[in-house]
Amino acid sequence: MREIVFDTETTGLNPLAGDRMVEIGCVELVNRVETGRTFHAYFNPGRSMPSEAQAVHGLSDAFLADKPGFSDLCEDLLEFVGDSPLVAHNASFDFGFLNHELGVCGRSLICMTRMVDTLVLARQRHPGAKHSLDALCTRYGVDRSLRIKHGALIDAQLLAQVYVELTGGRQIGFTLPVETETASRADAPAAQGGLAPIIVKIRPPRPHAPSDEELARHAAFVAGLVDPIWNRVEGRG
């Protein structure tokens, strides 16, 4: 299963009040494992950056001045995302800005049924605890030493690790495939997002029944026990 974990940085809190997205970072997961494929971009919002927002993410007007607009990279982003579920923390915020930018470009909005909100997952799993990304990183031992300020890509990378832990950890359900082979990108037909198909080989179960020799050794061991406790049970011995 392919999923995209993403995060955004913005000029403020409300796209309907004129705030715009200035950064997006996306991390690809396949079967809850990072593939190493990412999408990251800065955008010129076409407006000034409020000092309150700059204090959060450090993105200034001067830094964003030569960056492309969202419409310039919209197709690249949509191609990367494909039709995969989208995972975000407090996802309604990020979805709101992403869909607003898509609407400005005249593109179809992303259906909210594709949204996976890790904030909701965290509240369900740890009621009454702190649910910020920093708090969840601390809870699950995720190294956030590089997170000096908010940044879309690094936050998405941290959230990807947190998401895996929230949904069962590295051995989800203890049902990891025993052996996985991935065809080379050069030889495999193109799949969604340019990925090669994943081929899973299932090994036959290994026998765990004791052999005749093991049964005989066990019987000999039991016969040599002195006054075993089960002989003291009424009706036995």
Q: How far apart are CA 124 and CA 139, in angstroms?
A: 15
**Helix, strand, coil percent values for the chain (each to nearest 5):** 40, 20, 40
* Residues recognised as catalytic: 150
Angle at 56 between CA 55 and CA 59, to 5 degrees: 75
Element (H, E) at 57: helix 51-57
| 218 annotated as belonging to a binding site for a ligand | no
**What are the backbone angles phi and psi of residue 161, rounded to the nearest 5°?**
-70, -40
Angle at 146 between CA 140 and CA 147, to 5 degrees: 75
Give the CA count within 13 Å in the CB-facing half-sphere of 97: 24
Chain mean position to CA 66: 31
| 9 annotated as belonging to a binding site for a ligand | yes
| 143 annotated as belonging to a binding site for a ligand | no
DSSP code for 68 = P
Alpha helix segments (H runs only) across 87-211: 91-104, 118-125, 133-140, 152-166
Residue for token digits 């909100």?
117
DSSP code for 168 = T
- Which amino acid is residue 147, in one-letter code? R
Let me know: does 196 contact 35? Beta carbons within 8 Å: no
| 155 annotated as belonging to a binding site for a ligand | yes
Q: Which residues are annotated as a binding site for a divalent metal cation?
A: 7, 9, 155
Q: Which residues are annotated as a binding site for substrate?
A: 7, 9, 52, 57, 155
Q: Which residues are annotated as a binding site?
A: 7, 9, 52, 57, 155
